[in-house]
Structure 1
Amino acid sequence: YKTKTEVIIYDYVDSHIRVLEKMYHKRLRAYKKIGYEIWNNAIIDKQDANSIFDMDSYESVYEKDLLEANKEIVISSPGLNHSKVESFIRLVKKKQEDGIRITVVTLNPEGYPEERIKDTKGIVQLLKDNGVNVRIQDHMHEHYAIIDNEIVWYGSMNLLSRAKPDDNLIRVKSKEAALELLELTFG
C-alpha cells in the first residue's frame, strides 16, 4: 500500500535451541537488509521497552538502563574486550558503591586461542579486582544483560566485546524472560 509507512513484525526466539536462536538473528539481519529500520529512540523510559537495536543505536539506551539499576546487573558475554570492559567498569562504579550487585558470565579464558589466553585472563582479573562477580563457563552462547530482573537486552552482540555490523539486540521488559535466561545460565 502506497500510504503504509510502518510495519510491525512480531517474531519469536527460543534461546534453548541454538539453531532456532541463530535463525532468529538471521531474520533480524534480513529485515534490516531489505530496508526495515531498527528502532532508534534515544529518549526512552525504563518502563518503555520492547525495542530492537543495532550496534549504532543501542549504547545510549543500554547505558541509561545500567545507570538506572536499583538492585542487580547480570551480563552474559562470551567474549571480552579490554576497552569495553574498562568502559563498563567506569560506568557502573558508582552503582557498585551504592550496593548494586554486578555479575558477568563469560567463557573460560583457557578455551580461547592460545595467543589470547593471557590477555583474557587479565580482563577477567580486572573485573574481579573491581568488585564484579565473575562466573566462568566452559560452554555458552547466550548474549544478554538483565537489569533488576526485568529489563532484558538479548541478541547476538557481545556486550563486553567488539560489536559487529550485523549484530542486534532486542530490549524487553519481562520478568519471565529474565527468569528464564537466569535459570538457563545459573540453573
Structure 2
Amino acid sequence: MGRLHRENDGKTEVRVYDYIDVTVPLSAVMYRKRLKAYANQGYSVNPDHAEKMDMLSAKAEALRARMTAATQGEDAADALLDTRSDGLFEGSIVTATNYAEILRKDIAGCARSLIISAEYVSQQGLSAIDDELLRLADRKALIEVYVRLPATAAAATRTRMERNINRLRAIGCIVRTAESCSDFAIIDDGLIWFGGIPLLGNPRSDDCALRFKDTKIGENLADGLKRRSS
C-alpha cells in the first residue's frame, strides 16, 4: 500500500477495492491482516456505499418494527428500535475496544436467526454476550454456533472447548464443530461481522472486523459452514 500513498499533484484520496472469497479460510486469514492495515492507516468504508447501506438498514428496521408491532404489540416494537447501534452504519470497521457493546446491541435487535462462526470459545468471550444470547433464545430465535475443533486438538484444549460448547447448548444454541472455520457472525441473514475479532474469544487490542449488510454474502458464508461442519 506504500505506493498508493505517494503524493502527486491533484491527488485527493486513495480508494482501495478489496476482493475476497469469503468461503476460503486462507483467503479470510489474509483479509484479516489487510483489514488491520486499513484500520491502522485510517481508512474508512466508502461513504457512498455507507449511505446506501444506511438507507437499506432504515427500511429493514422499519419493516421489522411493523412486523413486531403486529405480532407482539407497540411496546415490543419500541423496545426493538431502542436496541439499534446508534451512530454506527452497516459498513463500519469495528475495533476491539468497542466491539462487545455493538455486538450486544446487534444481538438484542436480532429478530429471527443468529449464526456465529468461532475459531475458539473462551469463558471470557462467552461471558461478554451470554446474557444477550439467553434473551435471544427466549425470543425463540434460531441460534447456530460453529466452533473449530480439529481432530488433532490436544486433550486439554478439547476438554476446555467441550465445556464451553456445553455452556452454549445450555443457553439454547445449536452447536456444531468443524475442522476449520473463520470468525464471523450473520444476524437475520444479512447483517454480517467479518474480520479479525474472535467474537467468542479474547480479542487483541489491534483486532478489528468489518460490519456490513449483504444478504448474498450471508448465504455464501452459511452454506460454506454447513459443508464443513459435523
TM-score tier after normalising by the smaller chain length: 0.7 to 0.9
Residues 192, 211 of structure 2: 8 Å contact kept: yes
Residue of structure 2 equivalent to 1:24 = 31
Matched length: 181
Change (3 A) 1:18 1:120: closer
Q: 1:75 aligns with which of 116, 129, 140?
A: 116
Residues 156, 168 of structure 1: 8 Å contact kept: yes
Is 1:147 the counterpart of 2:187? The answer is yes
Render the CA deviation track for 1:47-106: whole Å, top value 9, x for unaligned: x31111121132222211110000011100020101222332212212211111111100
Q: Which amino acid aligns with 1:28?
A: L
Render the CA deviation track for 1:86-129: whole Å, top value 9, x for unaligned: 33221221221111111110022754333222222111111112
**TM-score under structure 2 normalisation?**
0.69
TM-fit CA distance, 1:6:
7.0
Q: Percent same amino acid among aligned pairs? A: 23
Residues 25, 180 of structure 2: 8 Å contact kept: no
Q: 1:162 aligns with which of 202, 205, 222?
A: 202
**Equivalent-residue separation in structure 2 for 1:73 and 1:16 (angstroms):** 18
Residue of structure 1 equivalent to 2:86 = 43
**Equivalent-residue separation in structure 1 for 2:44 and 2:153 (angstroms):** 32
Change (3 A) 1:11 1:147: same
Is 1:178 the counterpart of 2:178? The answer is no
Structure 2: 5+ residue stretches without partners: 1-6, 46-84
**Equivalent-residue separation in structure 2 for 1:52 and 1:9 (angstroms):** 14
- Helix, strand or coil: the match of 2:129? helix
Residue of structure 1 equivalent to 2:153 = 112
Change (3 A) 1:29 1:72: same
TM-fit CA distance, 1:135:
0.8
Look at both structures and tell me which one has the larger radius of gyration over its CA atoms: 2
Greater share of residues in helix? 2
Residues 144, 153 of structure 1: 8 Å contact kept: yes
Q: 1:95 aligns with which of 136, 141, 163?
A: 136
Q: Which amino acid aligns with 1:145?
A: A
TM-fit CA distance, 1:182:
0.4
**TM-score under structure 1 normalisation?**
0.83
Residues 44, 61 of structure 1: 8 Å contact kept: no
The answer to which of 95-104 and 5-14 deviates more is: 5-14
RMSD across aligned positions (CA): 2.6
Structure 1: 5+ residue stretches without partners: none
The answer to which of 53-62 and 95-104 deviates more is: 53-62
TM-fit CA distance, 1:131:
1.3
- Helix, strand or coil: the match of 1:28? helix
Residues 39, 93 of structure 2: 8 Å contact kept: no
